[in-house]
Structures are given as structure tokens and as C-alpha cells.
Amino acid sequence: MSGVPSSGVDVFELGSEHEQVVFCNDRATGLRAIIAIHSTALGPALGGTRFYPYASTDDAIVDVLNLSRGMSYKNALAGLDLGGGKAVIIGDPAELKTEALLRAYGRFVQSLDGRYFTACDVGTFSEDMDHIARECDFVTGRTVAHGGAGDSSVLTAFGTFQGMRAAAEQAWGEPTLAGRTVGVAGVGKVGRHLVRHLIEDGASVVVTDVHAPSVEAIREQFPQVTAVATTEELVASEIDVYAPCAMGGAISDEVLDVLSATIICGAANNQLAHPGVEKTIEERGVLYAPDYCVNSGGVIQVADELEGFSFERAQQRATGIFETTRKVFELAKADGVTTAEAADRLAERRMREVGRLRGIHLG
């Protein structure tokens, strides 16, 4: 098997910052997975396993490399002593996911001997982590019944809301969304919890999701929520805040051309569609709360499980996302850079300064 897929994606070139990329194959269960470890400078790499029907292996490679790099920055900015990693399982979970496949995957994670800790992501749930944990010691995000943190989307949404409050303070002088209209694209695991926080804070909410039952469930719970058919319709609506909470690449030039929102703050990973779009955001006078800064509540939650889970302690730590987001805005202003670059600088500073300490020999 060649290390370079036929279309020419070179893993060494594309993943030049990464420490390790592992391809996992188990024909009997249909498992095809890729584990990417970006950095262990701050500690073992932690990041979820995404189960998704990628159109090609190339697409899966690009995604896992981007996601694992993002986890290094997310974990660093969240103040965790953890590095960045991520895994993807290629395939439709509705068709391919079985106990045997998950356990086979767990054995591959185990083979890395603690360099990578896995957790939930798109297409995987706490119950899946329980299956993986039957073959693997390096799993978090397990069910409450097994002593775990359960659904990490709870604090992902809570942290995103804290980041949004900090953005509201920066834009309008008060850390509240009361009286504002927030457009939420994606009301699945995270988005539905975010909607609840927004409604409780006094915001008006507009939602969209490709999965119609998710929209129906939100409208049943909160009849005052408005639903629109597409993301295109949502971003063209009169909204004050745009909250992308689905897949990555949500912030493109085309979106910015029609977006009326003052703030972009959502839970999706890798929201910026291409390098340079963060400068366009700033030029348009839009305040961007960097995705990996505000959506780190979930990783804070599952990381807490490694100490013996306390929801109250994890929630208290996730409350700190408000102050971290504030720091990002302050640094952006002080250094004259975009908020995306400011977040990177804060994360890189911690990786550099704390990571350097790991080189001090303790005897």
C-alpha cells in the first residue's frame, strides 16, 4: 500500500507539523480508520473519533490532520496539560458501526500506549466509547453508568455560550444576548443545548439543520424558535449573531457577502473556509470568536474525567472560556491582529513555554 493516495495527497507534506499518523485496517469488521497525533508537547494527545462517510481517503486524511492540529491549539488555550490528536473512521455509522468494529478500533488506540486518548465526536457517542474501552485503557467521554462524563456536548454548548457572552460584551458593552437575534446552523448534539441557553438569556433564535427531525424537536421544546429551510437562508436573514454548529468550513467569502451579523460565534470546528478569510471577517466589521477557543467546553468536560469526573468542577472550568475569549479580543486589539491570529498566539505561547519545561530532566 502506498503512503501517498492516488490523487497525490502526501501525508508527510500535509502533516509536516504532525508527530504521527496511523492507518488502521481490519477487513473482517470493515474498519478503516486514521489516527493523527499533532503534538504531545503539553501531554498525551486528546481528541475525539469522528465516524463519517468521507467521499475519499484523501478527504479523510485532510480532515483528520486539520482536526488534530486544531485540538493541540484548543487544549493549549483551554489550559489543559494535553496535546492534540484526532481520529476518523471512514464510513456511514448507520450502516457500518458495530460492537466488533469499535472494539477492533479500540485495539489500535491501545497499541499507541497512551500517546492518544480518544473521545466522542461527530458520529460517535458515549455508548460507543464504552465498547472501545473494553479493548482500550485510553478512552474518555464514557457513559455515566461507567463512571464517565457522559455527553460532552452539554459543556461544549455551555462554553460556546460563554464565548458568545464575551463577544456580546465586546460588541455591545453588555455580556448578554437578551434582545438579540441569534442564527444557529445545526441543532444536533451541541446546537440544541446552545438554543436553550440563548432562550433562557432572552435571545430570539432562528435555526436550520439538514436533519429535519432535529429542527422539529427544537420547535417542540421551544415553540418561539423560528426555523428556515437552509443555511443559505439563515445567513441571509436579519441576525445579530451567526452560530455555525455543524461541519467545518462554514465561514466563506460567499457567506460574508450576505451576512448581516455583528458576531460570528459557534461550536463547529475549523469554521474558516480558507486562509485569509479571517482578514475579510475583520474588514467587514464582524467580530469573530475563534472556534477552538469557544468550543473547548467539551474537551474540558472529557479531560476532567481523567481525574475522576465532577460535572460541577468541569462546568466551573468551562466558565473560564468567557475570560479566555476576552483575552483573545484584548490581544487582537493590542497587537493589531485578527482574533484568529490572537488565539493562535496565546495557544502557541503556552505550548512553547510549558512544553519547554517538559525538556527539563527531573532525575
Q: Sign of the CA dihedral 306, 245, 66, 277?
A: negative
Edge-to-edge strand list for the sheet holding 181-185: 226-227, 204-208, 181-185, 241-244, 263-264, 287-288
Q: Is 23 exposed, middle or buried (0-12, 13-18, 19+ CB in 10 A)?
A: middle
Closest CA to 291 of 332, 261, 246, 331: 246
Which strand (E) or helix (H) includes residue 20?
A: strand 20-26
- Of 74, 86, 97, 189, the active-site residue reads 86
Active site includes 279?
no
Render 84-136 in DSSP notation, one character per residue: EEEEEEES-HHHH--HHHHHHHHHHHHHTTTSEEB---TT--HHHHHHHHTT-
Residue numbers annotated as active site: 86
